[in-house]
Chain A
């Protein structure tokens, strides 16, 4: 079984795991509260809130994402029981990572294709473009499923059972 030096640190300091879990939850809330709220507004809910103003919270969501990549890395690399491979071979975790990549590529396309510029002129109670709504729907779906798959990691057998694996 492969374990890394960080695994020894986690194993000998019992506070690391629960503290990182708590941070992981805080940042999860921050991502949904910032990115999720922008998604809702772009989809046409919450009219009256200017999209451009809500977008100012996105950097906070990015900081929260960095917190969760860091704490997530500690969970995988520092797993004191089964080592990193226990997680890396877990289907729920693999699906969660796939969803994070989908959310990331979606965000990249949002900026690269210029869809974000179509939002600059949307009035406070106006509608976003259809393309922007597609990006928002994909983002909201991906982040919610990231949470679901994150919870399934510890109960991976339930997923395997449902899939007949």
Chain B
């Protein structure tokens, strides 16, 4: 099954085509999607930590579709890059860590949407639901870990040497 995916016409095109629309552009899309979802989630998190209180929460809620746009771009670009390099990626424990952190970051994003924006519980003196700050810190930490693991996916040997594996 892994071979079938890796040797599919699409995976071969992504990996080997000299076309400007193949590997490098898909990699570029992946960086753009990353910047959109993480950049905007960090902005939302800063607001939830109390910065720039002049931004009303219902208006801030309008940023969610843009985060989903970033995530969708990266779901498709990421699946394409994964298909092109399936055996190597799945054999890389840092890549698996990255996927787990992304999963938790997205769950955190959904919980933020529900519990801070759509059905807020008790609101504190600062006008924010009392769990807003916890969701904000979780966003910083989970996306941070996902990005560190993602970048170091290219350097598993370094990491293993540093950790003394």
Contacts and interface: CB of A to CB of B under 8 A. Distances in A.
A79 interface: no
Given A33-B38, A158-B23, 8 more contacts: A21-B151, A26-B147, A33-B35, A33-B39, A36-B36, A45-B66, A124-B56, A155-B27
B23 to A, nearest CB: 7
A54 B55 contact: yes
Interface in B25-76: 25, 27-28, 31-32, 34-36, 38-43, 46, 51-52, 54-56, 58-60, 62-63, 66
Contacts of B35: 28-29, 31-33, 36, 147
Contacts of B39: 28-34, 36-37
Given A33-B43, A37-B40, A53-B54, A25 B24 contact: no
B151 A151 contact: no
18 contacts: A21-B151, A22-B147, A28-B34, A33-B35, A33-B38, A46-B62, A47-B62, A49-B56, A49-B59, A50-B54, A52-B54, A54-B52, A56-B51, A148-B25, A151-B24, A152-B28, A158-B22, A161-B18
Interface residues of A, number: 42
Contacts of B31: 25, 28, 147-148, 150-151
B154 A32 contact: no
Interface string A128-165: 00000000000000001001101110010111011000
Contacts of B63: 37, 46
Interface string B6-30: 0000000000001110111101100
Interface in B55-99: 55-56, 58-60, 62-63, 66
Contacts of A49: 55-56, 59-60, 62
A46 B23 contact: no
Contact of A34 (B41, B43, B59, B66): B43
B18 to A, nearest CB: 5
Given A25-B151, A144-B32, A158-B18, A33 B40 contact: yes
A25 B42 contact: no
Interface string B137-150: 00000011001100
Interface of A: 14-15, 18, 21-22, 25-26, 28-34, 36-37, 40, 45-50, 52-54, 56-57, 60, 124, 144, 147-148, 150-152, 155, 157-159, 161-162
A128 to B, nearest CB: 16
Contacts, number: 122
B66 A40 contact: yes
